[in-house]
Amino acid sequence: MDILNMELEMELKVLRKEVEKLKKENNELKKVLVENDLGDEIGVSTVMSPEEEICVKGIEQILELVRNNTADKNDIQNYDILHKNLRMIRNQSFAAPKTKKATKAELLSIVQGDKK
């Protein structure tokens, strides 16, 4: 019985490592989609970075508080901060490194594992 538990624990450990690896790969691919503005190419109307999504959701929550007349001074200040951050993210007016937009062929070769 102990051997079976040990084997299951080891298998679970391996699966957890694989999940973490796939999560990292997924995040990297999402970043490529955002950087190359490829949402339309994959059938997604908008591809947002996690930071942009946090700002949008926070703004929506605060706007709901305003509609219900339950917003306070802190909510308005948080709205201003989130709105400024969202504009900065979308306009990329901060000093972000410039990246070259990849062509569809280059992206497909990366996904398929072809080496150039």
Question: Nearest 5°: phi and psi at 22?
Answer: -70, -35
Domain extents for the chain?
2-112
Answer whether residue 93 shows pLDDT above 60.
no
Write down the pLDDT at residue 86. Answer: 87
Write down the pLDDT at residue 59. Answer: 93
Gap between the Cα atoms of 76 and 86, Å rounded: 15
Gap between the Cα atoms of 94 and 3, Å rounded: 55
One-letter amino acid identity for 26?
Answer: N
Write down the pLDDT at residue 115. Answer: 58
- pLDDT tens for 41-66 read 666 656 677 888 899 999 999 999 99
Instruction: Please indicate, yes or no, whether the overall pTM of this predicted structure exceeds 0.75.
Output: no
